[in-house]
Every structure is written in C-alpha cells, then in structure tokens.
Chain A
Amino acid sequence: MPARRIIPCLDVRNGRVVKGVRFRDHRDMGDIVAHAMRYRDEGADELVFYDISASPEGRTLDTGWVTRVSDVIDIPFAVAGGIRTRDQAAACLGAGADKVSVNSPALERPELIGELARDFGSQCVVLGVDTLAGASGYIVQRNSGDPEKIRATPRRTLDWIREAVERGAGEIVLNCMTRDGVREGFDIDHCREAAAAVSIPLVASGGAGAREHFRDVFRETEASGALAATVFHARTIAIPRLKEYLATCGIEMRR
C-alpha cells in the first residue's frame, strides 16, 4: 500500500484562496500560486483546489490558474468546481490538473462519473461528497460552497459512494460538514465505515485541528489520505513536523 497522504485543501473563490468556518464567512487567504509553492516545499503529498464559487453560480472554473499551478509544482493536484461535462474536465486535465473532482454536478447527473471515467480513466475521477449526520444516518448535501443554496439531498452517503464506485469513480473525498473548520478531529466512525464500504481510495476531510487527529484517522480507519485547510494555512500544524510525528507513530509517510 502507498504511504498515507497529507493533503492541504485550498478553497478558491474568484481566483483567490479563501477559508470559512462550517463553510461560511469566507476570508481571503492569499494568492493561489504562492500557496501551491509553499506546500510543495513543505512536503505536501498532493493538493486539492475547490473553486467553491463555481457550482452555485452555475459557471465553470477558469483554467488559467490551473496552468499557473501546474507549472510550479511537482506533486499531483486535483481541481474541483463546476465541472459538468467531459469537455470541461478535458480542459482542466489539459491545463495540467492530474485529477478532476466532481460533487454537485454528479448529484444532478450521476452519468457524468461514468463519462469521465471512460474517457480519462478512473484514476483521474474523484467524487467529492459533503456529508452531514441527520436523524437517521449520514445524508449527502449539495451546493455546499454557498450557505444560501446548500440543501440536503435524498441520498444516503454510503449508498452514494458505493454507486459512484460502480460508475467508475477512482477516489472519494469525504467532507464531514459538522466537523469542517471546527478542529475537534476527523469523524472517525463515519470515515471508517465509508472507507471500508468502497474498494477505491478514500480521503478523510473535515475537523483536523491537532496532529493527534491525523494519527487517529490513519490508525483507526483505512483512509488513504487526510485533507485539511485551516491548520495548514494558519501554520497551526507544520507539515514536515506532522509527517515526522506520524512516522514515529508507525504510520507510513513519504519524507
């Protein structure tokens, strides 16, 4: 099995990196390329860019910054946000992205997953899932980039990720929304059941606040990677020291 991955996530709005708490109140965090270079140098294993303004506004993302990022980094990165068609995905991959991540558009038209997998291969196709605990289990949420448009779907999270695997998805990023920006740790139970439910890699997201949270999600679940934003942007956790700590805990890290 590969080393477990440490994945900074950069939420992008109007070409700038932003971050909110519980998906709200976004603050400007700076230039995309500067962040990408910093994370490359710190030893991040991969980067994810979510253009959180794209899906709710019904537009697709601008690929200019994708090329600028691709030109300066030598680690893989995924791009998400408003990819609705094969041609839009092709534009992102052609601009240098290694993977495209689909979320709301796949909920609207699940066939999109299979179309992308057929043309580009499953290894290029990531499904982003925003999941929230309801009265009777975890439910998929839609349009999470805009607090005014967010709403629950009728889909149960585990059913949806299993369906996505059948349709050809190559990876799942599981965003646990109750945890996002709260920094009390990953939702271990939900990540465990979700990772065990699928044969493809699953990346845990939402809730990272301390290095022990990364240790726990890797020790207690099959998650292939752990994604976080605030703790890396704000330098609460330094990636080189995090990876050193996890390695001393017996978790395989690329160093």
Chain B
Amino acid sequence: MSVAVIDIGYGNIGSIARAFEQLGAAVRRTADPAEIEAASHVVLPGVGAARHAMERLGSLGLADRLRGLNRPMLGICLGMQLLFESSEEGETPGLGLLPGTVRRIAPVPGLKVPHMGWSRLALRGDGIGLADGDYVFFAHSYFCPDGPATRAAADHGGVVPAVVERGNIVGVQFHPERSAAPGRRFLEAFLDR
C-alpha cells in the first residue's frame, strides 16, 4: 500500500503521514502529480484556509487531477470541505465532487465555535471502521452540507456530517490521526479499500 499525502506547503501533515506509516503504509508527502497518480491511496489533509488551499491546488495543477482520480481518496477536515462545490470561507469554489456549500457554524448563545473536542458519532449505514457512539476529535468552524453521502454525523448546534462517501471519495470532518482507537480503525478500513 502506498499513500500520497498531498503537501501544498501549509498545515500539519506530519501527524497524518505518521499515522498511515504506523499502519504499515509507505507514505509520500508530495505535490507532484505523477507521485499522486502512482499511489494506491490519496489523502488531502487540512491545509489552512479554503480559498488559499484551492488556489494552491489550482496553481500546482492538482485540482483537475484530483477530480479525475479513480482510486480511494480521503479528505480530512478542510480537505473534506474542499470536496464540495463551494465554501463560504473565502467565498471559493471547491473541487465539486460532492454537491452543496460548506457554511460557517452559526454562533448562538451557549454554542461554542470552533466546534472543538470529542463528539459522539451517529452512524448511517457503513461507518468505514467506525461504530455508533464512537467519540472522535473535531476542530473546525465550517461544516459540510448533509445529504445522501453522509455516513456518520455529530451534533453541534445541528447535524455536522462527520463522514461522507461517494464512489472512491471519502471525507471526514474529524481528525482520525488524533482520535485514538476509533480513528485508527477508520484509517485501517480506508486502507483496506
């Protein structure tokens, strides 16, 4: 198994790369389209702010390649949000692999934003290694639209899709590399695809 962790020069990609290495995968941190296409699994990690990340993916020639990828691809946190059509964060288009707009969690009294900490998952069908009631670690202020692709959700002032899946595309809003045993189970199940 070989995992390409996309490195566009921002954010913490060391810990997700390390998590896959500990599961026995050969990991490359790369922005090279050829290396990305050679990998069996591709990971788009959380990478700063949405607009900047999309601009970097575009200028590196990666946006269209990712849209056309025919192998398992995992977007994590912001990487999941980029899978959708657009984001309110920076008013930017996304990769458009999933329908809908990523929006800011509306601040209301008593609800803390960012959504920070360990929230319980409610599963809808196959949880890709996750179980109903698992706690996983979230750290985000924007959330993805709920829809038929949602496989698990958390609650934070409303439904927060935590796992989405469509075809070869998987997205997780939480951080599997920082989610203890449930996170490890999820990453193993992703590698088994």
Residues of A at the B interface (CB closer than 8 Å) are 1-5, 40, 45, 67, 70-71, 74-76, 93-99, 118-124, 170-171, 199-201, 222, 224-225, 254-255
CB A118 to nearest CB in B, in angstroms, measures 7
CB pair A96 B12 closer than 8 Å: yes
CB pair A2 B139 closer than 8 Å: no
B18 is contacted by which of A71, A124, A199 (Cβ under 8 Å)? A71
CB pair B112 A70 closer than 8 Å: no
Known: A1-B119, A201-B117; 18 extra A-B contacts, CB below 8 A, are A2-B116, A2-B118, A2-B138, A3-B117, A3-B118, A4-B117, A45-B117, A70-B14, A70-B18, A71-B18, A75-B137, A76-B139, A96-B14, A97-B12, A121-B78, A122-B114, A199-B113, A224-B117
Q: Which residues of A contact B48 (CB under 8 A)?
A: 119-121
B11 at interface by CB-CB < 8 Å: yes
CB pair A199 B178 closer than 8 Å: no
Assess A199 versus B112: contact at CB under 8 Å? Given A67-B14, A96-B12, A98-B178.
Answer: yes
Residues of B at the A interface (CB closer than 8 Å) are 10-12, 14-15, 18-19, 46, 48-49, 78, 107, 110-120, 135, 137-141, 155-156, 175, 177-181, 183-184
CB pair B117 A225 closer than 8 Å: yes
Assess A2 versus B115: contact at CB under 8 Å? Given A93-B12, A96-B12, A121-B48.
Answer: yes
CB pair B113 A76 closer than 8 Å: no
CB pair A200 B114 closer than 8 Å: yes
CB B19 to nearest CB in A, in angstroms, measures 7
CB pair B18 A171 closer than 8 Å: no
Q: Which residues of A contact B78 (CB under 8 A)?
A: 121
CA distance A45 to B139 in the complex (A): 13
CA distance A75 to B120 in the complex (A): 15
